[in-house]
Structure 1
Amino acid sequence: MKKFLCLVAVIALLTGCASKKEEVKREETIVIGLDDTFAPMGFRDESGKLVGFDVDLAKAIGEKLGMNVEFQPIDWAMKETELNGNNIDCIWNGYSITEARKEMVEFSNPYLQNKQIIITLNESSINSKEDLANKKVAVQKESSALDAVQQDSIVTQLNNLIEFDTNIDCFLDLEAGRSDAIVCDEVLARYVMKQRGEEKYKVLSDNFGEEEYGIGFRKADTELVEKVNRALQECIDDGTVEQIRMKWFAQ
């Protein structure tokens, strides 16, 4: 009986130590949810490594905070569910600040400007937002592009608003001639067009509105938001953000 009780005590002690280690690990690591196809903010290079503007910025801020940064690819359509289900600690990947999202998450200070642009193939007869009437328009599911189009009066005149899992799928559908136009983040679109051949596309002067990117946290994590905001400001003040911007957006 004494041996049994000693064994139970040892197991309890080891379990307690493991729990404490897990708590320390969770405190020192911030898990970032991202769409790993969203170039140039967060995506995989030819070797499969996660790279991008937001990846570099997150690492820089993690260094300022003395925290490990772990990246977790997620289904972008489920991003807020992943966050509030504690599977990730923040959403950080070209995450546009919108009024609807403010009801679900606590945003950091904005750190990059963006707008929702309209892209067609170069030979298309579409030259304005009004020309989208009776056309098929592709957008990413649960994206700010989708929100922007749905809030615009033109949505009632579209032939179809097609939703895809990724923005790359939107580009592929456009190139295949199944959709007539894409609405997506300018930051991503300019990068993708450069990679796929800018001469194939036409960007309309009309757009679906300007916006800003921020980092989304759980409503209860106000202390973490404040820490990240301070570190973000330090990165702006010491030139780190400018260096990262030049690396990914020099042109």
Structure 2
Amino acid sequence: MKRKLSIKVLACAMAAALLFAGCGSTDKASSSVADQSWEKVKEAGVLVLGLDDSFPPMGYRDDNNEIVGYDIDLAKEVASRLGVELKLQPINWDSKEQELNTGNIDCVWNGFTMTDDLKKNLLFSDAYMNNQQVLVVMADSKYNSEADLAGKSVALQSDSSAKVALDSKTDFKASLKEVIELDNYTTCLMDLEKGGVDAVVMDEIVARYFIQMKGSKYKVIGNSLAAEEYGIGFRKADVALKTKINDTLKEMAKDGTNAKISDKWFGKDISTIGK
């Protein structure tokens, strides 16, 4: 009986060992599955770009309701070189991470500021442009500095890097009467013109564009609230897709395409990737 029991126990032990070994092999195989993010885009033949379509000059609707902009021109060239169609998908900026994680879009490419918090959940390309957060007021206003806005109202785009920048300036923020969060910068500036707020915290790239378009209707005051960089956001696991687009942008920098597109929108080359 003892011998038979020992054999039975040994057999069970071996079976268990094989079972666990099999599970280990499966886990190892699953964890080593190749990143198919680029292959999926290539097979579909479409790169779906998520954007806020009211963020000039990076991406916005022109008088013909067509989505145009600096980022759009860059993305079109990248898609062309990769042999895929570019699909522009307007999204709610507050839901950009959700849009990515549910697979509705392949990337967020629209003057997207890379912050430490965002980098915890998203994968970013190399920075392709520098930017800073600034204060914008009406050109004929009496405000010329942060101190002048004590007790006043300030607007900014919700879930934006402007909010992050303002939150970091605790003393200045505490001096304000109120901070109003709106859907986009166009709405913020409309509220500024109507007198609903006294200033807007926004990207300098966008502010300078509006100043140019509006004939100095607005002015930038004070110092930069925060320096930042624009990048393209991807799902954390989509390294292959990020690398493909990143490398293409570097090629475009090398052959002068990025400089040409930048000159079209800004009158000079302010691109940074590949330099």
Give the TM-score, by structure 2 length: 0.80
Q: Give the Cα separation in 2 of the matches to 1:112 and 1:25.
A: 27
Deviation at 1:63, TM superposition (A): 1.7
Residue 175 in 1 paired to residue 201 in 2? no
Q: Which residue of 2 aligns with 1:152?
A: 169
Unaligned runs of 5+ in 1: 1-22
Q: Which residue of 1 aligns with 2:180?
A: 162
- Three-state SS of the structure 2 residue aligned to 1:211 is strand
- Three-state SS of the structure 2 residue aligned to 1:172 is helix
Residue 229 in 1 paired to residue 246 in 2? yes
8 Å Cα contact 2:45/2:83 also seen in 1: yes
Letter in 2 for 1:177: G
Deviations 1:75-97 (A, max 9, x none): 11111111111111100000011
More displaced stretch, 124-133 vs 179-188: 124-133
Q: Give the Cα separation in 2 of the matches to 1:32 and 1:26.
A: 16
Letter in 2 for 1:61: V
- Three-state SS of the structure 2 residue aligned to 1:93 is coil
Aligned partner of 1:189 among 203, 207, 229? 207
Deviation at 1:26, TM superposition (A): 5.5
RMSD of aligned Cα (Å): 1.5
Q: Give the Cα separation in 2 of the matches to 1:73 and 1:137.
A: 26
8 Å Cα contact 2:123/2:233 also seen in 1: yes
8 Å Cα contact 1:129/1:207 also seen in 2: no
Aligned partner of 1:60 among 58, 73, 77? 77
- Three-state SS of the structure 1 residue aligned to 2:64 is coil
Letter in 1 for 2:79: G
Deviations 1:185-213 (A, max 9, x none): 11111112222231x22211412111110
Q: Which residue of 2 aligns with 1:5?
A: none
> Measured at CA, do residues 221 and 136 of structure 1 come closer, stay the same or move farther in structure 2, by a change above 3 Å?
same
Unaligned runs of 5+ in 2: 1-39, 269-275
Letter in 2 for 1:105: L
Deviation at 1:64, TM superposition (A): 2.0
Aligned partner of 1:143 among 134, 137, 160? 160
8 Å Cα contact 1:149/1:208 also seen in 2: yes
Q: Which residue of 1 aligns with 2:16?
A: none
> Measured at CA, do residues 146 and 127 of structure 1 come closer, stay the same or move farther in structure 2, by a change above 3 Å?
same
Q: Which residue of 2 aligns with 1:212?
A: 229
Give the TM-score, by structure 1 length: 0.87
Of structures 1 and 2, the larger Rg is shown by 2
More strand by share: 1
Q: Which residue of 2 aligns with 1:77?
A: 94
Deviations 1:7-53 (A, max 9, x none): xxxxxxxxxxxxxxxx6776421100001111111111111111110
8 Å Cα contact 2:211/2:219 also seen in 1: no
- Please list, as runs of the form range in 1=range in 2, the aligned pairs for 1:25-174 lying within 5 A after superposition: 27-153=44-170, 154-174=172-192
- How many aligned positions are there? 228
Letter in 2 for 1:133: A
Deviations 1:212-248 (A, max 9, x none): 1000000010111111111010010010100100110
Q: Give the Cα separation in 2 of the matches to 1:142 and 1:25.
A: 32
Q: Give the Cα separation in 2 of the matches to 1:55 and 1:209.
A: 25
> Measured at CA, do residues 57 and 124 of structure 1 come closer, stay the same or move farther in structure 2, by a change above 3 Å?
same
